[in-house]
Chains A and B, each alone.
Chain A
Amino acid sequence: MFLAIRELGFARLRFALMGAVIALISVLMVMLSGLSVGLVRDGVSGLQNLPVTSFAFAHGVQHDSAFSRSVVDASAVDTWRDQPGVAEATPFGNTLINGRTDGGTEVDLALFGVETDSFLSPAVSEGDRLGPADGIVVSPTAIDAGLRVGDTVTVDRLGTRLRVVGVTEQQDTFGHVDVAYVPLATWQAVKSGTPAGAQVPAQATQEITAVAVRAADGDSVDLAAGDKAAGTESLTLDESYGASPGYTAETTTLQLIQGFLYAISALVAGAFFAVWAIQRRQEVAVLRALGASTRWVLRDALTQALILLALAIAVGMGIGLGLGALISGGNVPFALHPQSIAAAAAGLLVLGLVGAAAAVVRLTSIDPATALGGNR
């Protein structure tokens, strides 16, 4: 520490350059973290907020498009309700619609069809809960986009008129589209393409997207056994995120970039401290000759790396959070999540230290006898 901080001060320009690179990487990390949390929230918050532990989709359905392709017979709900460990099971319908308000504004909604008295019927922060056949409860993000309680949305082509009766408590989006909860019968009419006022085909009233299952608290449900009994194919809630449009592609892309950034920060720190270590050879030989143990030399060098990395990451994270605050609230999906930012900071610090340590261990091999003579 004695030497480490004095060297930091003495060669501050050199260290500041290195710190700036790490700080920029940290800024990028915050941005990426904000973007990925934002994208996840935009992609699947409608699902995350559901009090559901698993969905039973049609057997053999493609997992990445299960919500749009799956069709399950409503009778499967009763089978699931009787499975051991299941607290509740209820029909769930999912479809994307385009519509417009009476004012002519275009709105896209992800319709979640639920039974109005089921555990899926959402609590509201404004207006009324689900009830009337034409009533919908929308995500507050739809309100931010200009929709209001009392507005009517007319579904394109079908002419079905849906009235906004309430607003859910938190952001509910699915595949970047605002969620609207709708009574199951109305959802079945829209899903089957029945125009307003026409008779819904009898078969359509038996069809749902999936059985929403909630396990009893602390209990686990044997999904395979349930699937066998009901002829369905279950995904846990987490697995079902992958069935949200674009979710897997978006998250893996961001994770890949984050992974690269971690690797880059380790390499940058490693390269910098490798050069630094070479420049310090004579100095370290002198230290060793004066009686510094290799442990002393290593500890001092690593302390230096730790101070530099911690400062740079703190500065970078600070700038990143400031920029993030400016961005979030706009129309970029961006959300700052303290835990994932702390994890990113810790990751950068640890990998930077690993890189520095790999470079600095070379100092232990310096022969203190080279301090003598001055010419070797």
Chain B
Amino acid sequence: MSSRTTPSPSAPGTTPADLGLVMRGVHLRHGDGAETVHALDDVDLTVAPGELAAIVGPSGAGKSSLLAVAGGLARPDEGTVTVAGHDMTVSSRRARTELRRRHVGFVFQSGNLLPALTAADQLRLPLRLGGRRDRSGRDPLQMLAHVGLAGKADRRPHQLSGGERQRVGIARALMTEPSVLLVDEPTAALDRARSHDIVQLLAQEARERSVAVVMVTHDHDVLQYCDTIYEMIDGKLATSS
């Protein structure tokens, strides 16, 4: 896995795209018969390591569906999805869980932290999901300090502000050194200043750690920090000007 831990665009035989997220001809339908919703309609998307891609679009366009398929939470009806070269569409649920744990980081709206855990434990959690033999990853306290929460390691989610919770969420997603970070509306619950902070942090992490980041957002204000902007309408993805 040296190609993943030291992602290098110039590594022989690989292109930058292979190391990030690649989606080709992806279709996803929900329901059946007359009620079928075409949530993803022939989606192509490539996000290279170090790139922050934003996806905007109206509600119900299929943005969350795209993240679910990209991270192996849902299987597409057609098309291919790879993360760092790994096929995320394998049928085995267990195999996809394992791929998620190793190669994908998720950041959810309003953090989705576990209420019982302190900030430090939120960061330890991803390292505990893989059993005893597999606990390597970043140092939780260093990581907290890195996202500006040095003094708040022992706070539980209800003792943190919305912006702080979101920082913990981002730090948690980065603990296992994923190749791809999938972020769903990270600023939905934040004010303007806090939103800018969070997206800046994401852009900085993407660059520093060579992570391919896909961020879904309604917030056109923060698009200035993004490298590429896509627009999704009715399941179709298009580059935005």
B205: A residues at CB distance < 8 A: none
Report chain A residues within 8 Å CB of B115. Answer: 10, 283
Is A337 at the interface (CB under 8 A from chain B)?
no
B residues in contact with A290, CB < 8 Å: 100-101, 106, 125-126, 129, 172
Q: Is B49 an interface residue (CB 8 A)?
A: no
Contact of A288 with B97 in the complex, beta carbons under 8 Å = yes
Interface size counted on chain B using CB atoms at 8 A: 35
The digit string for A282-318, where 1 denotes a CB below 8 A from any CB of B, is: 1100111111110010000000000000000000000
B100 touches A289 (CB 8 A): yes
How far is A372 from B71 in the complex, measured between Cα atoms in Å? Answer: 11
State whether the Cβ of B133 lies closer than 8 Å to any Cβ in chain A: no
B98 within 8 A of A: yes
The answer to whether A3 and B125 have CB atoms under 8 Å apart is yes
| Smallest beta-carbon distance A363→chain B, Å | 14
Known: A3-B116, A7-B116, A282-B112. A291 touches B97 (CB 8 A): yes
Residues of chain B within 8 A of A369, CB atoms compared: 64, 68, 73-74
Shortest Cβ distance from residue A237 to the other chain B in the assembled complex, whole angstroms: 54
Contact A374 B121 (CB under 8 A): no
* Closest-CB distance, A1 to chain B (whole angstroms): 9
Q: Given that A6-B117, A7-B116 are contacting pairs, would A296 and B109 also be in contact in the complex, using a CB cutoff of 8 Å?
A: no
Kindly state the separation between the CA atoms of A374 and B109 in the bound complex, as whole angstroms: 6
Instruction: State A369–B121 Cα separation when bound (angstroms).
Output: 23
Query: Whole-angstrom distance between the alpha carbons of A288 and B129 in the complex?
Result: 9
Q: Is B108 an interface residue (CB 8 A)?
A: yes
Contacts of B117 in A (CB 8 A): 3, 6
Given A6-B121, A372-B184, answer yes or no on A291-B116 (Cβ-Cβ < 8 Å).
no
Q: If A289-B71, A290-B100 touch, does A373 touch B109 (CB 8 Å cutoff)?
A: yes
Q: Are B116 and A372 in contact (CB-based, < 8 A)?
A: no
- Of B67, B71, B94, B102, the contact of A293 (CB 8 Å cutoff): B94
Smallest beta-carbon distance B48→chain A, Å: 23
**Shortest Cβ distance from A5 into B: residue:** B116
B51 within 8 A of A: no
> Are the C-beta atoms of A2 and B125 separated by less than 8 Å?
yes
Asked if A368 CB lies within 8 Å of chain B CBs, one says yes
A11 contacts B by Cβ under 8 Å: yes
Shortest C-beta distance, B115 to chain A (Å), equals 7
Residue contact B126 to A368, C-beta cutoff 8 Å:
no
Could you mark each residue 333-376 of chain A with 1 if its beta carbon is under 8 Å from any beta carbon of chain B, else 0?
00000000000000000000000000000000001110111100
A300 to chain B, nearest CB (A): 10
Q: Which B residue sits closest to A10, measured CB to CB?
A: B116
Is chain A's binding surface mostly helix, strand, loop or mixed?
helix
On whether the beta carbons of B97 and A286 are closer than 8 Å, the reply is no
B130 within 8 A of A: yes
Q: A10–B155 Cα gap in the complex (Å)?
A: 12
Note all chain B residues with C-beta closer than 8 A to A293: 94, 97-98, 129
Give A293 to B117 CA distance when docked, in angstroms.
19
Count contacts between A and B, CB distance < 8 Å. Answer: 86
Which of A282, A283, A291: most chain B CB closer than 10 A? Answer: A291
Q: Would you list which residues of chain A between 249 and 308 have a CB under 8 Å from chain B?
A: 282-283, 286-293, 296
A289 to B184, CA, bound (A): 13
Find out whether the CB atom of B129 lies under 8 angstroms from the CB atom of A368: no
Distance A290 CA – B184 CA, assembled complex (angstroms): 14
Q: Is the CB of B184 within 8 A of A373?
A: yes
Contact assessment for A283 and B114 in the assembled complex, using a CB-CB cutoff below 8 Å? yes
The verdict on A9 contacting chain B, using a C-beta distance below 8 Å, is yes
B164 contacts the other chain (Cβ, under 8 Å)?
Answer: no
CA–CA, A3 to B126, complex, Å?
A: 11
Say whether B124 faces chain A, with CB atoms less than 8 Å apart. Answer: yes
Q: A290-B100, A291-B98 are in contact. Are A372 and B124 (CB under 8 A)?
A: no
List of A residues within 8 angstroms of B108 by Cβ:
286, 289, 371-372, 374
B residues 57-75 near A (Cβ < 8 Å) are 64, 67-68, 71, 73-74
Nearest A-chain residue to B69, judged by Cβ: A369
Q: Are A291 and B101 closer than 8 Å at their CB atoms?
A: yes
B137 to chain A, nearest CB (A): 12
Contacts of B114 in A (CB 8 A): 3, 283, 286-287
- Interface membership of chain A positions 1-33, coded 1 if the CB is closer than 8 angstroms to chain B and 0 otherwise: 011001101110000000000000000000000
Q: For the A-B complex with A291-B104, A372-B68 known, give 17 more contacts whose Cβ atoms are closer than 8 Å.
A: A3-B116, A3-B117, A6-B121, A282-B112, A286-B114, A287-B129, A289-B100, A290-B126, A290-B129, A292-B101, A296-B129, A369-B64, A369-B73, A371-B112, A372-B106, A373-B64, A374-B108
Give 26 pairs: A residue, B residue, CB < 8 Å, sorted on A: A2-B128, A3-B125, A7-B116, A9-B116, A10-B115, A286-B112, A286-B114, A287-B114, A288-B97, A289-B73, A290-B129, A290-B172, A292-B97, A292-B101, A293-B97, A293-B98, A293-B129, A369-B73, A371-B108, A371-B112, A372-B106, A373-B109, A373-B185, A374-B108, A374-B112, A374-B188
Residue numbers of B with Cβ under 8 A of A are 64, 67-68, 71, 73-74, 94, 97-98, 100-102, 104, 106, 108-110, 112, 114-117, 121, 124-126, 128-130, 156, 172, 176, 184-185, 188
User: Top 10 A-B pairs ranked by shortest CB distance?
Assistant: A291-B101, A10-B116, A374-B109, A369-B73, A7-B116, A291-B100, A369-B68, A373-B64, A2-B128, A372-B64
